Amino acid sequence: MPSNISSSSSSGNNASLAKTWIRGFDSLIGGGFPRSSFIILAGHPGTGKSTFAIQFLLNGAAMAKETGIYASFLEREEIFIRNMSKSYGFDFKKPLEEGTLQFLEFTPMAPDVVSDTFNMIVKRVIETGAKRLVIDSLNALFVETSPAEQRRILEIVLNRIIKDQGCTVIAILEQSIGKTEIGFGIEEFVADGLIVFESYIEGLEIKRRAIVRKLRGMQHSSRYQSILLNPNEGISFLQLAE
Amino acid sequence: MPSNISSSSSSGNNASLAKTWIRGFDSLIGGGFPRSSFIILAGHPGTGKSTFAIQFLLNGAAMAKETGIYASFLEREEIFIRNMSKSYGFDFKKPLEEGTLQFLEFTPMAPDVVSDTFNMIVKRVIETGAKRLVIDSLNALFVETSPAEQRRILEIVLNRIIKDQGCTVIAILEQSIGKTEIGFGIEEFVADGLIVFESYIEGLEIKRRAIVRKLRGMQHSSRYQSILLNPNEGISFLQLAE
Amino acid sequence: MPSNISSSSSSGNNASLAKTWIRGFDSLIGGGFPRSSFIILAGHPGTGKSTFAIQFLLNGAAMAKETGIYASFLEREEIFIRNMSKSYGFDFKKPLEEGTLQFLEFTPMAPDVVSDTFNMIVKRVIETGAKRLVIDSLNALFVETSPAEQRRILEIVLNRIIKDQGCTVIAILEQSIGKTEIGFGIEEFVADGLIVFESYIEGLEIKRRAIVRKLRGMQHSSRYQSILLNPNEGISFLQLAE
Amino acid sequence: MPSNISSSSSSGNNASLAKTWIRGFDSLIGGGFPRSSFIILAGHPGTGKSTFAIQFLLNGAAMAKETGIYASFLEREEIFIRNMSKSYGFDFKKPLEEGTLQFLEFTPMAPDVVSDTFNMIVKRVIETGAKRLVIDSLNALFVETSPAEQRRILEIVLNRIIKDQGCTVIAILEQSIGKTEIGFGIEEFVADGLIVFESYIEGLEIKRRAIVRKLRGMQHSSRYQSILLNPNEGISFLQLAE
Amino acid sequence: MPSNISSSSSSGNNASLAKTWIRGFDSLIGGGFPRSSFIILAGHPGTGKSTFAIQFLLNGAAMAKETGIYASFLEREEIFIRNMSKSYGFDFKKPLEEGTLQFLEFTPMAPDVVSDTFNMIVKRVIETGAKRLVIDSLNALFVETSPAEQRRILEIVLNRIIKDQGCTVIAILEQSIGKTEIGFGIEEFVADGLIVFESYIEGLEIKRRAIVRKLRGMQHSSRYQSILLNPNEGISFLQLAE
Amino acid sequence: MPSNISSSSSSGNNASLAKTWIRGFDSLIGGGFPRSSFIILAGHPGTGKSTFAIQFLLNGAAMAKETGIYASFLEREEIFIRNMSKSYGFDFKKPLEEGTLQFLEFTPMAPDVVSDTFNMIVKRVIETGAKRLVIDSLNALFVETSPAEQRRILEIVLNRIIKDQGCTVIAILEQSIGKTEIGFGIEEFVADGLIVFESYIEGLEIKRRAIVRKLRGMQHSSRYQSILLNPNEGISFLQLAE
């Protein structure tokens, strides 16, 4: 078991929970995300959202042999992997060779091809039997998309990916610094879970913390956790002292 | 009587009040919602709005044999029921078999079919003689609907469902985190009742509380109540210590 | 004299003042509203605006035999009366039979018939010689009406109802919770009077208070009053302790 | 000399200053408004703006035999005069008979006739040789008028009324309660003077205060003054204790 | 040397700096504005922006025989000069006769002639060899002008006036009271310098202060200065006590 | 080694890091920017963004013989260089002669030529083998550009400049004074790094500080640093005392 994986005795191939094996996290949400759930991971730049999301996939591949797909609308695979490797020493080689990690790289797209793109993702989820999907990010995807079209896309995710394929989805939602509202006003209601990563200033330092705002079907923590980003481990969570 | 039902001696088939039998709630509003009233249940994600709404229907079925309809524009029946069962141990089997609980599942819809959808709901209310209806949620329904069209839809609810059929309606209104205004500016004025569920940060913890802002025709509490979400019981309300 | 009527020795058929006979209110405004004035009653949901307005009409009918019209764009007569009767024990039977209270019920309307609607109200005011009119509410009426059209409608009210018929008008203006601005930016300037009902949180409780912000032609109180909503009395006002 | 006129020895027919003779005011602005200046009087409802404006005209008529025109886009002459008489005991009879006070009453107007209206005002100013003009209010006038059109109208005021006729203009600018910005973003820069009347809550009471924010060509007070509205005197200003 | 000119031994005909000779100011910015720079002077109404700008021109004419142009989109020459003379005793006669001060008076203009207007200004700058130009104000000029058109106009200023003619430009930017953002979001980035004049309430008094936010190519003060507006001197700056 | 270059023993021609050699900065970000990264430098006017950016190029030229391109959409080369020379004594002569510093000067442009412009920049990066590029600024560039078009432009930068040419890009993002949100809502998510320069008022003085909000692939400081702007050195960073 790699050092960056949370010590947990369960097999991870649990029928009802998609464990993250991220240190300090699964215990906050009752053991793992409910399978076939749609989780929004919202937060400020630099709070570790992508790190969390890739570890969710890497750990699923390493611990449970579950295939994960990272659909990136922002970063190129090569650079993403290089940065994650450098920062945290993650090993991408094995899961990429085994096919348990797949990276889908999308260029910015015209609003009228957004649905097509999602159909491509659906196709890949079906072909690979992926059980975990990351969408990075909804903002990049929803540039100039109308609210009604956003609803239709979310419907594809919910029905064809989550319901028909039993895949658990983490969608990243970027929050601008200085903006207090989260999201476009529809995603956070559709989602089964809403995890918020915040950066805040304490004295002269930026700090990061996370809180689970919603998780349907689970008893979850309702307390802020400190977010740690350590070399050779990636993200982990620690109870914040008051 | 199931354990998640508030101990109350009255039969529930009272001509003028639709009891919720939710622990700690009916006493706040003078015994129950006025029958044939239109109640807005507004609140942040993760504060228990859907839990409250489904318990309103389940308890009405179990205690008073009243048929209830859950019209969902967000979640699929299967997943909704699975989550509610897992979280709170609610028993959906009996009311679904008896037909005292009915689930209507709508996909995201184009603005021009919103009225048709409501006509379908009206038809079902008439056919089943439902006395309780939940709409989850107005936000999902009103995506890209003009204020004037919203008024016309609310008119259908008020006249054909509430007035003609004597059905009590709870409509959920999602409030974004970080947003202080409630609603679109029309629903909360039309409604007979406005219950607000809030999540707030105290120290390092998210807490939940509820307050009755308006309830026409009833003497009601004007004090914040703590919202509890317990396994095997669902939602309940407790007086908040100052 | 009914118990819910303020003890006042004057006849109420005073040429220049339209008394409300609401406990604690007339003394705040120098004895009553100036006749033929246009009063905006603005406030949050659940603060007693409709209660105030209906008492203004009921008391005018009972004490001064003045005919009053309640033009409702939100609630149906039957439900309105049932709720008011239940909450406060008001007796609607006599004034409705005598015709000193009339209820006009409007369905949501297309913007292009708003002027026609007002012509209907004018006609009824003329036919009945009504001296008191309530409009509930401007928001419901002004959905999707342009500012210039709003001006033209207010002109009908001001000229044909107020000036030509000597009728005193109370128009309700709903204010969303969490919104600090009042009105659409035109009504509150046109109005002769502006009464604001606020709900606010003190400790864990919602409280209500009222203040007279403007009343042309009168020396008026400029102090917050506590709003009380008591069974069998309706609304009353009490000096707030500091 | 009427009781509501500030005791001042000067004749008022001073070539360069338009005195207001309002108690406590002229001394704040170095003796009076510069003749041929354009003054914005901005403020919340109920702070005495119209009272100030009519006293500016009444006093000009009584003390200096200067003709003043009150151009009202909101209130009818009859009601305006009745209210002002009742509240403050002002005597309108003499100046109206002498023609030293003239009331122009405008109905709400379509945006395309706004310029025509101003031409009518110009015509009246020329015919009567008026030296004082009140516009009540810019908001009512500028409903649905584009910024460029607003500029053109202000140009008529500045050139044809102020410059060509030597008339001093007070334009009322209504400020909504709860709104912190003043004006539409153009008038307050064009104006030679900007007087702000504020209502504010202190403890449980609404209080009123005024401050001179700008007055070109004059040394003026930069201190808040308390606004008093007394029967038989109208508006007056008093130094606020700190 | 007139009394309102800062005592400074340098000739002012310095090749690289455009001195203001305003008491207390040049020392804040390292001796004067860099020649051929574009300075934004932003501030609330009544803080002395126009006074500063005209003194920049008057002093340039008196001390260095540099021609200055005041391009006014708001005030007429006659009134501007009368007000400035009355308030501060400035002598306009000599520089106007000599042609070292020129006043350009523009009426409000349609958006499509804004570029033409600037070409007129360019022409005048070339003809007169003006070394100082004031634009009063950008807001008046940019009413209903698109951001792209604003960019093109600023380009004319930067290239044809500043770069080709070596003229130093002060552009006034009006800031509404109660608004915290400065400018339209483009000018303050294009400008070489940004001076902010603020009015603020301290106790019951309005006070004025200034700060240099940006000045390319110069070491400048980063401390608030008190703004004084004295008869017979005009504007001056004084270090604020903490 | 010039005096304004941070004392650092490494050669700078490091394969993976683009050092800035700015005093106090490289140590904050783990030694330098990751090569081929896209860095947003956001901040208020007058906080030293352009100074930082030009030093990034000058130092790269002097210390590592890397060619740098300054693409300016705001300032002309001549004036930019003059101001930077005057303020900080930077020597532009050698790098300009050697061609290791190149200045591209763009006039304001119509939205439809923005892509063409970027193709020109790409061409120059390819021809010169530039390893460092500054874009000053995104705001000037994105005037009236749609979000979808902004995405496409950023794609050109990311793919053709950064990925294909291995060039490190610093893009300046101007933040208006008084505005708390950063950026247009897309750039800061696309970027690999986000450095924020803030000006803030402390007592009566404007101060400047910087913080690294995000830097993919690097362990970075999360603490505010004081920004110093010294003659003969340019920008440097110092730990802020608490």
Q: Could you report the per-residue pLDDT of F172-215, keeping only the tens digit for each?
A: 998 888 776 766 667 778 889 999 999 888 888 889 999 999 99
Q: Tell me the chain E residues in contact with residue D180 when contact means C-beta distances shorter than 8 Å.
A: 178
> What pLDDT digit, counting tens, does each position of D7-44 carry?
444 443 456 899 999 999 999 999 999 999 999 999 99
What is the interface size between E and F, counted as CB pairs within 8 Å?
89
Mutate to test the interface with F, among E216, E240, E242 (most CBs of F within 10 A): E216
Say whether D44 sits in a helix, a strand or coil.
coil
Of residues F215, F218, F65, the one with CA closest to residue F128: F65
CA proximity to F142, closest of F166, F97, F172: F172
Nearest CA in chain E to F43: E189
Give the residue from B31, B4, B43 showing the smallest Cα distance to B236: B4
Asked if A216 is an interface residue toward chain B (Cβ–Cβ < 8 A), one would say yes
Q: How confident is the model at residue B155 (pLDDT cuts 50, 70, 90)?
A: confident
Type of residue found at B122: V
Report the percentage of chain C scoring pLDDT > 70. Answer: 88
DSSP string, F102-116: EEEE-----GGGHHH
Q: Is the pLDDT of residue F10 over 50?
A: no
Give CA–CA dist A205/A45, Å, rounded.
15
- Pairing type for strands B193-202 and B205-215 reads antiparallel
On the CB side of E34, how many CA atoms lie within 13 Å of its CA?
Answer: 25
| Token pair in block for residue D37 | 């200046």
Confidence of residue A130 (pLDDT cuts 50, 70, 90): very high
B213 and C45 within 8 Å at the Cβ level: the answer is: yes
Report all structural domains of chain C as residue ranges with CATH numbers, in order of start. 14-239 (3.40.50.300)
Q: Which has the minimum average pLDDT: B7-11, B91-95, F166-170?
A: B7-11
Smallest Cα distance from B42 to chain C, Å: 11
Average pLDDT, chain A: 86
Do chains A and D touch, with touching meaning 3 or more CB–CB pairs less than 8 Å apart?
Answer: no
Considering chain B, what is the average pLDDT of its residues? 86
Contact across the interface for C155 and D108, Cβ inside 8 Å: yes
Task: Give the pair of three-digit tokens for residue E116.
Answer: 């033409």
Does E152 sit within 8 Å of F87, measured CB to CB? no
Cα distance between residue C81 and residue D60, in whole Å: 55
Question: Whole-angstrom Cα distance, residue F119 to residue F104?
Answer: 13
Alpha-carbon span A124 to A49, nearest angstrom: 23
d(CA A241, CA E67): 67
With beta carbons less than 8 A apart as the criterion, state whether A223 and B92 touch: no
Are the beta carbons of E40 and E25 closer than 8 angstroms? no
Q: Among the residues of B129-221, which ranges form H helices?
A: 138-142, 147-156, 164-165, 187-190
Q: Which of E202, E208, E236, E204 is nearest to E224 (CA)?
A: E208
Residue B110: predicted pLDDT: 58
In single-letter form, the type of residue at position B15 comes to A
Amino acid at F46: G
Share of chain D above pLDDT 70, in %: 88
Q: State the Cα torsion F128-F130-F134-F136 to the nearest 10°.
A: 10
Is residue D3's pLDDT more than 60? no
Distances (CA, A) of F4 to F13, F41, F93, F101: 19, 20, 16, 17
Phi, psi for F216 (deg, rounded to 5): -65, 135
Q: Do A45 and F154 touch (CB under 8 A)?
A: no
Contact list, B179 vs chain A (CB under 8 Å): 181
Tokens of F146: 């749609």
Residue A241's nearest CA partner among A209, A214, A219 is: A209
The answer to whether the bond into D137 is cis (omega within 30° of 0) is: yes
Q: What tokens does E170 get?
A: 């002060």
Q: Tell me: pLDDT of F68 over 90.
A: yes
| Average predicted confidence (pLDDT) for chain D | 86
Which of E204, E208, E235 to probe by mutation at the D interface, max D CB count within 10 Å?
E204
Residues of C in contact with B237 (CB under 8 A): none
Given this model, what pLDDT does residue F226 score?
96
- Indicate whether E15 pLDDT > 70: no
Q: Tokens 């009406």 sit at which residue?
A: C145
Q: Is the pLDDT of residue B132 over 50?
A: yes
User: Among D173, D189, D237, which would you mutate to test the E interface (most chain E Cβ atoms within 10 Å of its Cβ)?
Assistant: D189
DSSP H or E run through D142: helix D138-142
Q: Largest alpha-carbon pair distance within chain F?
A: 51
* pLDDT level of residue E10 (50, 70, 90 thresholds): very low
Can you tell me whether residue A66 is helix, strand or coil?
coil
Beta-carbon-side half-sphere exposure of residue C98 (alpha carbons within 13 Å): 17
Q: Under a CB-based contact definition with an 8 Å cutoff, are residues D235 and D5 in contact?
A: no
With CA atoms as reference, the chain F residue closest to A82 would be F217
In whole angstroms, what is the distance from residue D241 CA to residue D233 CA? 22
Look up residue E196 and give its two tokens.
């902010």
Residue E113 C-alpha, separation from nearest chain F C-alpha, in angstroms = 19
CB count within 10 Å of CB E2 equals 14
**pLDDT level of residue F242 (50, 70, 90 thresholds):** low
DSSP H or E stretch at residue C200: strand C193-202
pLDDT digits (tens, 9 = 90+) for F214-235: 999 888 998 999 999 998 899 9
Partners of residue E82 in chain D, C-beta under 8 Å: 217
The dihedral region occupied by F159, where left means phi > 0, alpha psi between -120 and 50, and beta the remainder, is alpha
Cβ of residue A202 closer than 8 Å to a chain F Cβ: no
Which of F110, F176, F178 is closest, CB to CB, to E148?
F110
In chain F, which residues have their Cβ closer than 8 Å to the Cβ of E154? 108
- Greatest Cα-to-Cα distance within chain D, rounded to the nearest angstrom: 51
Q: In the block, which residue shows the tokens 């007002």?
A: C118
pLDDT of residue A161: 84
Give B-chain residues touching C44 at CB under 8 angstroms.
Answer: 213
How far apart, in whole angstroms, are the C-alpha atoms of residue E157 and residue E115? 10
Q: A188 vs B83: CB contact, 8 Å cut-off?
A: no
Name the pTM for this structure.
0.83
Report the 10 Å Cβ neighbour count for B115.
Answer: 14
Q: Does residue E45 sit at the D interface (CB-CB below 8 Å)?
A: yes
Neighbours of chain D (3+ CB pairs under 8 A): C, E
Spatial CA neighbour of E169 closest among E70, E42, E29, E27: E70
pLDDT at D185: 65
Report chain D residues whose CB lies below 8 A from the CB of C180.
Answer: 178
Which of B45, B110, B137 is nearest residue A194 as measured by Cβ atoms? B45
Phi, psi of E124 (to 5 degrees): -65, -40
Is the Cα dihedral D151, D157, D163, D164 positive or negative?
positive
Q: The tokens 């309103």 sit on which residue?
A: B56
Asked if B touches C (at least 3 Cβ pairs < 8 angstroms), the answer reads yes
User: Residue B115 is encoded by which pair of tokens?
Assistant: 């009225």
Nearest to E148 among F45, F111, F207 (CB): F111
Q: How confident is the model at residue D4, as a pLDDT? A: 52
CB spacing of C211 vs D206 below 8 angstroms: yes
Contact F190 A140 (CB under 8 A): yes
How does residue D119 score in pLDDT terms, banded at 50, 70 and 90?
confident
F142 pLDDT tier (thresholds 50, 70, 90): confident
Chain C's closest residue to D174, CA to CA, is C189
Q: B7-16, B23-32, B197-206: which has the highest mean pLDDT?
A: B23-32
Residues F129 and B125: their CA atoms lie apart, in Å, by 72
Inter-chain Cβ pairs, chain A and chain B, closer than 8 A: 90
CB atoms inside a 10 Å sphere around CB B98 = 12
B50 to chain A: nearest residue by CA?
A216
Closest CA to D55 of D13, D6, D125: D6
Q: Is C32 helix (H, G, I), strand (E, B) or coil?
A: coil
More confident residue, D161 or F31: F31
> Which residues of chain C fall short of a pLDDT of 50?
1, 3, 7-13
Using CA atoms, how far apart are residues D233 and E236, in angstroms rounded to an integer?
41
Separation in Å, CA F75 to CA D155, E190, E206, F108: 36, 7, 37, 10
Going E115 to E117 to E120 to E125, the CA torsion angle's sign is: negative
Instruction: Mention every residue, 6+ apart, whose C-beta is less than 8 A from residue E1.
Output: E7, E62, E63
CA–CA separation, B216 vs D217, rounded Å?
Answer: 59
Give backbone dihedrals phi and psi of D34, rounded to 5 degrees, phi first. -60, 135
pLDDT band, residue F118 (cuts 50/70/90): confident
Quick one: closest CA in A to B207, which residue?
A222
Whole-number Cα distances in Å, B230 to A187, B1, B89, B209: 26, 18, 10, 14
For D139-153, F30-44, F193-207, which range has the lowest pLDDT when averaged over its residues?
Answer: D139-153
